[in-house]
Amino acid sequence: MGARLGVLALQGDVSEHILAFSRALRATGEVDGSVIPVRKPQDLEGLQGLAIPGGESTTISRLVEKNGLFGPLVNFEGGIFATCAGMVLAASRVDDPRVRPLGLLDMAVKRNAFGRQRESFEADLAVRGLDQPFHACFIRAPVATATGKDVEVLARIDAGAVAVRRGKHMALSFHPELGDDPRLHAMFLERIFAGE
């Protein structure tokens, strides 16, 4: 049986992450792997990894509560790949009281750190573990303003950390699922397959 991955499918870039993880599974040789949408706690059973996609963090936080997913996400034993709004939810501290963070990574996150939609931008980032820069798309992006000792910063810009990792969890303030570069999804998969 191949790898089983999920994408939290409450709001945001769900189909884009399903496609990106399908490409990354093929790139890592896991041709029998599957990627499913996750909407309720029982959907998490048997998954090795889960993406919490970009979207609107206050909306996703409210829907996590409404669907009874807060506890199951906090206690999920697989790896979590959190992007943009997902990074906000994965944090231990958030600058917005409307978001109840999951506390998966010891970090403080500022929502919409760069302003509104019109301040969105793209940048080539040097990412620890990649031999070439990663072209990143920042859309109303957050930034980690502080990280704990056990959180590894993989990429940073002037405003703060934009890619971090702890164990099997990885959080990015940008949207790797919007391009055709599977390297960050593959980096995440390598960690969960290695059991780290």
Residues involved in catalysis = 84, 175, 177
Closest CA to 40 of 8, 13, 3: 8
Q: How many helices (H) and strands (E) does the chain have?
A: 5, 12
How is 40-99 classified by DSSP, letter by letter?
SGGGGTT-SEEEE-SS-HHHHHHHHHHTT-HHHHHT--SEEEEETHHHHHHSSEES-TT-
Residue 171: which residues within 8 A CB-CB, separation 6 or more? Answer: 80, 81, 82, 83, 86, 87, 90, 91, 104, 105, 107, 144, 163, 164, 165
